[in-house]
Amino acid sequence: MKKQILVAGGTGYIGSHTAVELQNNGFEVIIADNLSNSKIEVLDGIESITGIRPIFEKVDLSVIEETEAFFKKYPNLEAIIHFAANKAVGESVAKPLMYYRNNLNSLMNMLEAMKEHNIPNLVFSSSCTVYGQPDKLPVTESTPRKEAESPYGNTKSISEDIIRDTVKAHPNLNGIALRYFNPIGAHPSAKIGELPLGVPNNLIPFITQTVAGIRQELSVFGDDYNTPDGSCIRDYINVVDLAKAHVVAIERLLMNKQNSNYEYFNVGTGEGVSVLEIIEGFERSTGEKVPHKIVARRPGDVEQIYADTSFANKSLGWKSESTLDDTLLSAWKWQENLKKEEVK
């Protein structure tokens, strides 16, 4: 009998790719999502890739009554992967209460359900934002967390603390937080990818929509940072590589291989790439020009951050494999596939 895994926020960008990798590895996937920033048609893409349509429930996990009803319906879950959160840095600065309410309530509601229904394992979608602007690069898991640069980042720090304290108080529970860096790209089939509703908050979908003519031009937020070309530096990881890390984390929990009942790992490539280098890489890999302009810095942005992934490489037996050019090309193929679907 297949082990049931709940993917909370599973019709979202990272969640949908993780659902694919879980199904490819023999797990039964149940997706819970309120569709606030995703579309139900994502299930068609998952089914097209894997041949299996995951079970789907429309649930707002930040609402306790809906959460309780869901877990009563699915009493045999082996583990939860929690993606159900708002995730835009800029939006969180403008709407902090929305971020605290949604991101923290959904986590606490699920932890209560884990206790009540004896669901032992949680993989949490954390973020490198917990490090703020680090004093030393690359960041390791021993790098001190700093005061967050945004409410979004703060929800990740608080969530990690909530998980740590909960599993400490309840030793039958286990948690792994994956602190990942900047997910980009799409599934190589071009059947699922990043699909923000409205104006994108992330760099790559804004680039692809600009090249596709949906947006007039890309705004590069600042060229006066203390970096080689003046633009912000990030560690951009292929979303499929990232999805595979979640499967490895689930298997670690199910096989009781963890060293403690709360662990955390950096998940990135170990390489820092600037915004202007991303534009150059996109143009190189696709042959398309990216109309862009330099504008003022954006509130909440960290100047530069990239990972030391050696701990995750050794402990999880996982590493990123995709090249940046292939990843950027996959994002463009996904955008082109969306245009074809619109024409049909």
What residues are labeled active site?
152
Q: Which residues 6+ apart lie within 8 Å of 255 measured at CB?
A: none
What does the alpha-carbon distance between residue 77 and residue 116 come to, in Å, rounded to a whole number?
12
Whether 65 and 113 have beta carbons less than 8 Å apart is answered as no
Give yes or no for a contact between 8 and 80, defined as CB atoms under 8 angstroms apart. yes
